[in-house]
Amino acid sequence: MSIVVDILSWLLLTVGGGFVLIGGIGVLRMPSFYTRVHASSMTDTMGAILVLTGIMLQAGFTLATLKLIAILIFLLFTGPTAANALASSALLSGLKPDSDGQTAKTDRPA
């Protein structure tokens, strides 16, 4: 039984780590501001869900799991909100969503 939980937990941790890695690569490689926000918000949601669920399986039925659930709920509220705030304030300050990669050169801080 415990070996099944371990395998499941490591599977979740690895896949979650993969999502975080993809998010990181996305932030570096995506062509424009909005696509980069999209990549980083994936780290906040999929990465956090998978990694924290993996840790919860390691912790078992303890107080630590309850705290991890609280952290997960907090992240699921704040992560997408932060991504939304970032994107909407960029839009309001005049950065046009643009798919041809033109904005990539201009929106990088000097």
Binding site for other proteins (CB under 8 A): 74, 77-78, 81, 84-85, 88-89, 109-110
- Closer to other proteins at the Cβ: 4 or 92? 92
CB of 66 to other proteins, least distance (A): 13
CB of 110 to other proteins, least distance (A): 6
- Closer to other proteins at the Cβ: 74 or 99? 74
- The C-alpha angle with vertex 14 and arms to 18 and 2, in degrees rounded to 5, equals 165
CB of 100 to other proteins, least distance (A): 26
- Closer to other proteins at the Cβ: 81 or 102? 81
> Which conformational region is residue 96 in: left (phi greater than 0), alpha (psi within -120 to 50 degrees), or beta?
beta
What gap in Å lies between CA 72 and CA 76, rounded to an integer? 6
Q: How many CB atoms lie within 10 A of CB 68?
A: 19
- Closer to other proteins at the Cβ: 3 or 109? 109
Nearest Cα to Cα of residue 104 among 96, 44, 60, 25: 96
